[in-house]
């Protein structure tokens, strides 16, 4: 991550312009592509497609929540943007790892390269993808707590 304002700017662009600004249309393109993959993948890939499908469902719910809240309170966009970007990113990476797992599946006994891809994908799904749940809770905490202190209390 680059911390010279870049993450925040990219997060605001994603949430403000691409998610809220399109009424969720941009998000739906992304989610539909993942759903197509999980719906058509071999049952042998269930260890990847099931948690990926669950993750996109979590992101569906988070996106719907954000779209609803942003209608009445534009502060929700700024309050949610960084964590929403992170959730989106974790789901996008899960999709990429599931695609790599599909390409490697069945070849791992023949080549360590494929075995390492599957091992790394399993690590990602077990250790990193679950972070979306705490990040989603942070988004759903809303913007209210950001405004509890007045300027004199800083």
Alpha helices in the chain (DSSP H): 6-12, 25-40, 46-72, 75-104, 112-123, 131-140
pLDDT band at 21 (very low <50, low <70, confident <90, very high): very high
The single residue of 4, 61, 76, 144 carrying the catalytic annotation is 4
Confidence (pLDDT) at 15:
97
What is the mean pLDDT of the segment spanning 34-46? 98
Number of other CB atoms surrounding residue 142 within 10 Å: 15
What is the C-alpha separation between 15 and 77, in angstroms, rounded? 6
Confidence (pLDDT) at 1:
55
Confidence (pLDDT) at 154:
84
Confidence (pLDDT) at 2:
56
User: What pTM value is reported for the model?
Assistant: 0.93
Indicate the burial class of 98 (C-beta count within 10 angstroms; 0-12, 13-18, 19 or more).
Answer: buried
Q: Please indicate whether residue 4 is annotated as part of the active site.
A: yes
Nearest to 147 by CA among 67, 73, 72, 63: 73
């Amino acid at each position: 991550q680059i911390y010279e304002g870049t993450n925040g700017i990219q997060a605001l662009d994603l949430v403000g312009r691409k998610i809220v600004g399109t009424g969720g249309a941009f998000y739906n393109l992304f989610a539909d592509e993942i759903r197509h993959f999980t719906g058509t993948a071999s049952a042998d890939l269930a260890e990847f497609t099931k948690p990926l499908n669950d993750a996109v469902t979590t992101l569906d719910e988070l996106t719907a929540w954000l779209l609803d809240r942003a209608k009445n309170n534009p502060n929700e966009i700024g309050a949610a943007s960084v964590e929403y970007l992170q959730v989106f990113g974790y789901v996008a990476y899960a999709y990429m790892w599931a695609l790599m797992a599909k390409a490697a599946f069945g070849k791992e006994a023949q080549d360590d390269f494929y075995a390492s891809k599957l091992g790394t994908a399993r690590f990602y799904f077990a250790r990193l993808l679950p972070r979306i749940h705490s990040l989603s809770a942070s988004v759903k905490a809303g913007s209210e707590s950001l405004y509890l202190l007045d300027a004199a209390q800083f």
